[in-house]
Amino acid sequence: MADIIRLLPDHVANQIAAGEVVQRPASVVKELLENAIDAGSSLIKLIVKDGGKTLIQVVDDGIGMTDTDARLSFERHATSKITNAEDLFNLSTKGFRGEALASIAAIAHLEMHTKPENLEVGTHIKIEGSEVVFQEVSVTPKGTSIAVKNLFFNIPARRNFLKSDQVELRHIIDEFHRVALAHPSIAFNLYNNGSELFNLPKSNLRQRLVNVFGNKTNPKLVPVEEGTQVVNIKGFVCKPEFAKKSRGEQFFFVNNRFIKSPYLHHAVVSAFEGLIKTDTHPGYFLYLEVNPSSIDINIHPTKTEIKFDDEHTLYAILRSTIKHSLGQFSVVPALDFEKDQNLETPYAYQGKVATLPRVTVNAGFNPFVEKQQKSVHHANHSTKSSKGWESMYVGLRSEVEKNENLEGIQFESDTITGSIFKGKEAHTESSATTIQLRRKYILTTIKSGIVVIDQSRAHQRVLYENFLKHSTLKEAVSQQLLFPLSLSFSKSDIRILNEIKESLSVLGFVIETKEEDAVKVKGVPILVPESEVGIVLDQLISDYQDEVEGNSFSYTDMVAKTLCKTLSVKTGEVLDGTSQLALVNDLFACKEPMVSPFNKPIHITISENDIDKKFI
């Protein structure tokens, strides 16, 4: 029997390894940015084109490499970060495996310019699919510049699985945020298709958060800081009133490395228990410093999941630290029995001297004499006032005679809600034909039995089809605001609003995005209250970030779904009989009354036979 096992060529092995390291352009961005940070850079520039498919370039001012190191850096498992296996348990750098550059070079056209500070000239290397095209001396500034072009050029199947440029750019921005937030002492710039998206100077942590997410972030933040022998915690959590329905601004950093930890996330959520609604998520930016020997980073190819030695202790410390911060900054109500009430003196009374109260006593006061006088006076007054009482009703009969026809008079009375057991008068033609059950379902009768309708999903379907109808016919009615609303957003959020601006205008929104971190809302659809415009736009941005690739119609569809979800009647709201009946009629006038816009059933039917079977 012939031998069937053979060694794979290096370029094939590199392509297989690239499948683990490079999943999309954002993976390349992550690896290159981390290498630039490990090089001790103070300024890092990221340049992308066409969502990273055409170009990803990272330029830094780090220590650079010699010609030998530059050539060796593209070999597999070639690294300067570790020398033996024990170093894996005491890591202080971002990268350590030596696979990133080799994997990237196997699936793209790559060019590198690098020069150390102590050399006069640098090195220029060009590689295409693991093949070194040339290596020569070049004049280049201190640091390293790596340009990755035509990603997955030799793996068409992988390139076809990439999403649209907008979706890939969003993933790149997410990775850029994770690296930039972990290192506020380093300046970062991001350019997309020639335009600057982010210019983040060196700053402290709070200012870096404001520069990334906009000025609206600053009033949301509550500082968190605690030092223990196990972990040092610092960072910020967002106030409970700013909790969102989507998991947007949630960041964990361990030793300046972004991680994902559902266990620690649960500790944060439990600290907010009772302060936020069950369907909302708190925002947080938490930085944990632990002993490198107590964590294992090398358990996941992307290094976003790590293993802690003692997760239970971290859970307890993190939860108590956040609860303490929320109470310390008066975010949650608390009773302080040790507070000195003298410190609550207003400023206007600081210079005033306390005066002793004076009590005056009438020595000639006799309560018995006074009581007798009062009783005599009361009797006399009652006798006098009883005379002439007939004059109070003079002319009243004539007024009654003028208004004998009292049918047009309306009387104020309380609204009768439960008239089921009031007798025959409850079964008139004007009585409601619907019943609201537990403020969630609407019950109505049909010939074959009873229909049970979910009021929230039914209203979503009605609003959804109305919005789509207006967008198709270009007849959306916009309610112009007397005073335009000015709302603050981050640069990435404003970019998203610009992308879906046409779909918003079709549905009735009139928005201007002239400023860098603010938008002006001049008109809204009739069904959108002015007080909920900010909530609606935040939800639109969040839904857009969770949406996959689509065309302009899908953007309109996404906007319509977000609006109907935000503006629909919620579970727990009380509807009067007229509103219940109108909702039922509008639902069955829809084209798809069976399912909601999110493909969930709206109503069920209980037939008369099913009811009869219950009484057998």
In this structure, the answer to whether residues 92 and 67 fall within a common structural domain is yes
CB 57 within 8 A of CB 146: yes
Look at the block and give the residue holding tokens 């949630």.
250
Q: What is the predicted pLDDT for the residue at 251?
A: 94
Listed residues 148, 182, 200: the one ending a domain:
200
Q: Looking at the domain assignment, is residue 334 inside a domain?
A: no
Query: In the chain, pLDDT over 90 holds for what percent of residues?
Result: 31
In this structure, the answer to whether residues 190 and 298 fall within a common structural domain is no
Judged against a pLDDT cut of 60, whether residue 357 lies above it is answered with yes
CATH number reported for the structural domain that contains residue 175 in this entry: 3.30.565.10
- Per-residue pLDDT band at 170 (split at 50, 70, 90): confident
Task: Name the pTM for this structure.
Answer: 0.69
CA distances from 465 to 25, 185, 321, 395, 563 (A): 37, 50, 47, 63, 11
Q: Looking at the domain assignment, is residue 401 inside a domain?
A: no
In this structure, the answer to whether residues 210 and 248 fall within a common structural domain is yes
Judged against a pLDDT cut of 80, whether residue 260 lies above it is answered with yes
Nearby residues of 452 by Cβ (< 8 Å), 6 or more positions away: 437, 441, 442, 443, 603, 604, 605, 606
CA distances from 377 to 220, 387, 388 (A): 68, 16, 19
In this structure, the answer to whether residues 322 and 459 fall within a common structural domain is no
> Which residue, 102, 91, 100, is CA-closest to 31?
100
Listed residues 143, 172, 200: the one ending a domain:
200
The amino acid present at 571, given as its one-letter code, is T
Q: What is the DSSP string of 581-592?
A: HHHHHHHHTSS-
In this structure, the answer to whether residues 149 and 216 fall within a common structural domain is no
Q: Looking at the domain assignment, is residue 368 inside a domain?
A: no
CB 536 within 8 A of CB 528: yes
The pLDDT of 118-135, averaged and rounded, is 90
CATH number reported for the structural domain that contains residue 308 in this entry: 3.30.230.10
- Per-residue pLDDT band at 414 (split at 50, 70, 90): very low
Q: Looking at the domain assignment, is residue 247 inside a domain?
A: yes
The predicted-structure confidence for 547-577, as pLDDT tens digits, reads as follows 544 444 567 788 888 888 888 888 888 888 8
Q: What is the predicted pLDDT for the residue at 18?
A: 62
In this structure, the answer to whether residues 38 and 86 fall within a common structural domain is yes
CATH number reported for the structural domain that contains residue 564 in this entry: 3.30.1370.100
The pLDDT of 419-427, averaged and rounded, is 40
Q: Looking at the domain assignment, is residue 358 inside a domain?
A: no
In this structure, the answer to whether residues 17 and 162 fall within a common structural domain is yes
In this structure, the answer to whether residues 119 and 209 fall within a common structural domain is no
The predicted-structure confidence for 180-236, as pLDDT tens digits, reads as follows 999 999 999 999 998 888 999 999 999 999 999 888 888 889 999 999 998 999 999
The DSSP letter of residue 9 is P
> Which residue, 88, 100, 104, is CA-closest to 306?
88
Look at the block and give the residue holding tokens 């109305």.
466
Structural domain containing residue 507: 453-588
520 versus 340: the higher-pLDDT residue is: 520
Q: Looking at the domain assignment, is residue 425 inside a domain?
A: no
Q: Looking at the domain assignment, is residue 497 inside a domain?
A: yes
Judged against a pLDDT cut of 80, whether residue 237 lies above it is answered with yes
The predicted-structure confidence for 390-408, as pLDDT tens digits, reads as follows 555 555 555 555 555 555 5
In this structure, the answer to whether residues 196 and 65 fall within a common structural domain is yes
The DSSP letter of residue 373 is H
Listed residues 200, 232, 254: the one ending a domain:
200
Cα–Cα distance for residue pair 234/367, rounded to 1 Å? 72
In this structure, the answer to whether residues 169 and 278 fall within a common structural domain is no
The pLDDT of 327-354, averaged and rounded, is 65
- Per-residue pLDDT band at 518 (split at 50, 70, 90): confident
Judged against a pLDDT cut of 90, whether residue 41 lies above it is answered with yes
- Per-residue pLDDT band at 510 (split at 50, 70, 90): confident
In this structure, the answer to whether residues 488 and 578 fall within a common structural domain is yes
Q: What is the predicted pLDDT for the residue at 186?
A: 95
Which strand ranges, in their side-by-side order, compose the sheet holding 478-488? 478-488, 518-525, 510-512
In this structure, the answer to whether residues 221 and 265 fall within a common structural domain is yes
Look at the block and give the residue holding tokens 């104020």.
412
CB 524 within 8 A of CB 478: yes
Token pair of 57, please?
A: 């370039």
> Which residue, 280, 278, 282, 272, is CA-closest to 249?
282
Number of domains in the chain: 3
Q: Looking at the domain assignment, is residue 262 inside a domain?
A: yes
Judged against a pLDDT cut of 80, whether residue 384 lies above it is answered with no
Q: Look at phi and psi of residue 388 and say left if phi exceeds 0, alpha if psi is from -120 to 50, else beta.
A: left
CB 490 within 8 A of CB 517: yes
